Amino acid sequence: AKSGDIVLLHDPYDTSVEAALQTIDVLSEQGYEFVTLEELFSNAGVTPQAGHFYLRADEEVPW
C-alpha cells in the first residue's frame, strides 16, 4: 500500500475480521493513516463519479 491507495477489506469468514485488524495494526505501525473514502478523495481534490472504478484517489480505470 502507498499514499492514496484504496484497501478494501471484506469479512466473509470468522477469521477475516481478525486478519483485517492485524493488517490495520501492521500498516498503522508503518505510519499509514486510515481515513474514510470521503476524506481520501477530498484530500486529493477529487470528486468521485458514480459508476467509476478507482484504484487510488487519483487513479480511475474504465469500468
Q: How many domains does the chain have?
A: 1
Tens of pLDDT, residue by residue over 4-63, are 888 888 889 989 999 999 999 999 999 988 899 999 999 999 999 888 888 888 888 877
6: in domain: no
Residue 8 inside a domain? The answer is: no
Model pLDDT, residue 5: 83
How far CA 61 is from CA of 4, 6, 7, 55, 58, in Å, comes to 15, 13, 16, 7, 10
- Distance from C-alpha of 57 to C-alpha of 63, rounded to nearest angstrom: 16
Look at residue 2 and tell me whether its pLDDT is greater than 80.
Answer: no
pLDDT of 4: 80
The pLDDT value recorded for residue 62 is 78
pTM: 0.67
Structural domain that includes position 31: 14-61
